[in-house]
Amino acid sequence: MNELLESDIYTPIAEDPTDVVRKTLISLLQYFEHETCDTELPKIRNYIHHICNSQCPEIYGPPKIHKPGVPLRPVVSSIKTVTSRLASHLKKIIMPLAGNRTSSVKNSREFCAEIKMITLRPSDILVSYDVKDLFTSIPMDITLNALENLLDKDSTLSQRSSLKAFHVKKLVSFCMKEANYFRFGEQCSCKTVARQ
């Protein structure tokens, strides 16, 4: 794990930013509460402010025993973290978008079945990410803009939340950027921003 953390994917940070992230998120939630009258945000804010004993996210690495050299698959556990309740709420808002996309598949078997039925034109491009770098190489700003565009076009968003597309984008951005840190042992680190 130390070798992985010394790569250019992660940057060490001097101290655990949990308290700063917590205070910033409480302020953001309070601002959006007043702006949108959303009923879930006060519950999340009150939980973070009064009840939650937030922990720093922890990274661990199950071994990929099927790969040469048995590298580790880095996993960051966000259980009982500042953003865990917010992330669960945002997931409920965003999840229907994946089901509405013709490009979503449940697993590799479904992907193989679907791709057999596709006739490619010479101008078509198939993009595939190496799972090794999938989440660390996705350009965050492009992804957040795509999310906002999809939510703007989603006629059912108002049935799931009183938040507008902008608010959802900003809250997802907070989870993915400001709250993008973890601890391994005594060292806190954050993921280096992917190239845009």
Q: Give the model's pLDDT for residue 170.
A: 98
Q: Residue 133's pLDDT band (boundaries 50, 70, 90)?
A: low
Contact 5, 184 (CB under 8 A): yes
Q: Residue 169's pLDDT band (boundaries 50, 70, 90)?
A: very high
Q: Residue 196's pLDDT band (boundaries 50, 70, 90)?
A: very low
**Beta strand pairing call for 75-77 and 181-184:** unpaired
Q: Radius of gyration over alpha carbons of the chain, in Å?
A: 19
Q: Give the model's pLDDT for residue 174.
A: 97
- Of 129, 171, 131, which Cα lies nearest the Cα of 147? 171
Q: Give the model's pLDDT for residue 4.
A: 74
Please report how many Cα atoms fall inside a 13 Å half-sphere around the Cα of residue 169, on the Cβ side.
16
Residues 65-90: tens digit of each pLDDT: 888 888 888 888 988 899 999 999 99
- The CA distance from 157 to 140, in Å, is 22
Mean pLDDT of the chain: 87
- The CA distance from 65 to 108, in Å, is 20
Burial code (b: 16+ CB inside 10 Å, e: under 16) for 147-167 equals bbebbeebeebeeebebbbeb
Phi-psi region of 120 (alpha: psi -120 to 50; beta: other; left: phi over 0): beta
Q: Residue 54's pLDDT band (boundaries 50, 70, 90)?
A: confident
Q: Residue 193's pLDDT band (boundaries 50, 70, 90)?
A: low
Which residues touch 108 (CB under 8 Å, ≥6 apart)?
none
Contact 165, 152 (CB under 8 A): yes
Residues 55-65: tens digit of each pLDDT: 899 999 888 88
Residue 149 pLDDT > 80: yes
Contact 70, 148 (CB under 8 A): no
Q: What is the pTM of this model?
A: 0.79
Query: What are the helix and strand counts (H, E) for the chain?
Result: 9, 5
- The CA distance from 151 to 93, in Å, is 9
